[in-house]
Amino acid sequence: MDLGLKDKVALVTGAGSQLGFGKATAVTLAKEGCNVIVADMYLDGAEKTAAEIRALGRKAMPVNVDITDKADVSALVKAALAEFGRIDILVNNAGIAGGGGFFATSKEDSWDQLIDVNIKGMLNCTRQILPLMLQNKYGKIVNIASGLGKSGGPGTSVYSATKGAVISFTKSLAAEVAALGVNVNCVAPGLAPSTNFGGTPDATESSPARTASERSNSVLATIPLGRFTEPQDVANMIAYLVSDLAVDVVGQPISVEGGRFMM
């Protein structure tokens, strides 16, 4: 099915990780005809993703950016406009996990890092790109949250709080700009096969820490579909949401996680 994305210009943050949702999204959008700005903290990864996109016959611009730095994001947007003249699609994918363990013993520096990347980074990118979309009366924004942003979970309090903020921001922004030609939605992915289960946030004095394999199997048992979420699963949903097939899908936090957080 043609999604009508030929020659659209997409900016995907956090698209350099070769196992992540961002790379899969950038490549999938390129397959649908988009030219892609590949933004990442690590230029080597961004260049690898960009090379894969160019091999598909589409244009790609790898950019090294720290999304928590407003000046860095401004430079990214200027470079993108110089190269492509516009930005039609923004996928706020860049984010971090961490801060695991009981909140009572958590450290403030870990809160700051999660808030800076997962919330402030998304706000920085959206704030600088949204006015361009409003001027053109066209734009698609997809923010990446998490099932934990809907449900929460032990050992994930600050991370879950940041992803809950992503969901609330998506809904509020969508209500502001839907009638102005900009559609905003959110994808809440499940755990990918590459998830690191090496931490021990479930350990207590009376309950010893489980191995990474035990934790992985325990989580897998909670997923009705019986498998982890592949990056391509998330990329497919994002491609749909940024297409005009999803014109009536507005401000929605759509779960792509095999039914683990059904609600």
Catalytic residues: 159
Round to whole Å and give the CA distance between 195 and 223.
Answer: 15
Residue 117 to residues 121, 145, 164: CA-CA distances in angstroms? Answer: 5, 12, 14
Cα-Cα-Cα-Cα dihedral sign, residues 119, 125, 131, 132? negative
Tokens of 14: 């956090």
Stretch (H or E) spanning 144: strand 139-144
Q: Alpha-carbon torsion 54, 43, 159, 227, what sign?
A: positive
| 211-250 residues labelled b (16+ CB within 10 A) or e (exposed) | eeeebbeeebeebeeeebbbbebbbebbbbbbbeebeeeb
Helix (H, G, I), strand (E, B) or coil at 209: coil
Tell me which amino acid residue 121 is. Answer: G
Composition of the chain by helix, strand, coil, percent to 5: 45, 15, 40
Helix (H, G, I), strand (E, B) or coil at 192: coil
The residue behind tokens 């928590």 is: 68
For 22-38, letters b (16+ CB in 10 Å) and e give bbbbbbbbbbbbbbbbb
